[in-house]
């Protein structure tokens, strides 16, 4: 007779098996020579508003913002700084909110206004040709960098599309050994 541990292990395997099959079937690969690696960078000011001293009830307001699109690692028009440690170019900083602007956004007079914080954000995407159509999907920094390097060398890519065709999870340069 099987032991309790064997039943538990069998149960786990049976529970995980459909997830593995679903995950594997939810991925596809596309080979393309036409692609662009895109990183859109954002600066914006954010201010915290707290209603009680313990700051249990907190909300955030977003103030002025600037953004810049990096394409294939090239310096875009409007870049003020860069490339940074991740190879990204950045726009000028947006103007810091004034005390008048911050007070205008107070919902209640007893709300405590925090110090403005400059937030940096980056959204990564790959635009690629698939069966004669151009598609753009989100991706990660690692995938973006691989695509930038391959693009500079004119190397085609094999893209792994995951999440039911919602994001590029991996790229493999074709015909290159140093990636």
Gap between the Cα atoms of 114 and 62, Å rounded: 12
Q: Using an 8 Å Cβ cutoff, are 173 and 149 in contact?
A: yes
pLDDT at 129: 94
Q: Given a cut of 60, is residue 4 above it in pLDDT?
A: no
Q: Given a cut of 60, is residue 70 above it in pLDDT?
A: yes
Torsion of CA 147, 150, 151, 155, to 10 degrees: -130
pLDDT at 15: 47
Closest of 175, 160, 152 to residue 128, by C-alpha: 160
pLDDT band at 57 (very low <50, low <70, confident <90, very high): confident
DSSP the chain: ---HHHHHHHHHHHHHHHHHHHHHHT-EEEEES-EEEEEEEEEEEEEEEESSTT--SEEEEEEEEEEEEEETTBPPTT--B---TTS--B-PPPPPPPHHHHHHT-SSTTPEE---EEEEEEEEEEEEEETTEEEEEEE-HHHHHHHHHHHHTT--EEEEEETTTTEEEEEEETT-S--
pLDDT at 12: 45
Q: Given a cut of 70, is residue 19 above it in pLDDT?
A: no
145: its two tokens:
């960098």
pLDDT at 52: 78
pLDDT in tens, 128-165: 999 999 999 999 999 999 999 999 999 999 999 999 88
24: its two tokens:
């594997």
Higher-pLDDT residue of 17 and 151 is 151
Q: Given a cut of 50, is residue 79 above it in pLDDT?
A: yes
pTM equals: 0.79
166: its two tokens:
């919602």
pLDDT in tens, 97-132: 999 999 999 998 889 999 999 999 999 999 999 999
Higher-pLDDT residue of 57 and 122 is 122
């Amino acid at each position: 007779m099987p032991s309790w541990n064997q039943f538990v292990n069998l149960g786990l395997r049976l529970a995980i098996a459909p997830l593995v099959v679903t995950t594997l079937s939810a991925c596809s690969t596309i080979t393309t020579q036409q692609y662009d690696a895109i990183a859109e960078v954002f600066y914006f000011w954010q201010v915290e508003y707290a209603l009680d001293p313990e700051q249990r009830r907190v909300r955030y307001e977003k103030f002025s913002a600037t953004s810049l699109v990096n394409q294939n690692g090239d310096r875009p028009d409007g870049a003020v700084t860069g490339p940074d440690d991740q190879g990204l170019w950045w726009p000028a900083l947006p103007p810091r909110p004034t005390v008048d602007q911050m007070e205008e956004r107070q919902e209640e007079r007893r709300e405590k206004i925090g110090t403005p914080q400059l937030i940096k954000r980056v959204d990564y995407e790959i635009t690629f040709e698939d069966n004669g159509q151009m598609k753009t999907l989100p991706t990660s920094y690692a995938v973006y960098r691989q695509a930038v390097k391959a693009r500079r060398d004119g190397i085609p890519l094999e893209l792994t599309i995951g999440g039911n065709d919602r994001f590029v999870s991996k790229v493999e340069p074709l015909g290159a050994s140093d990636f």
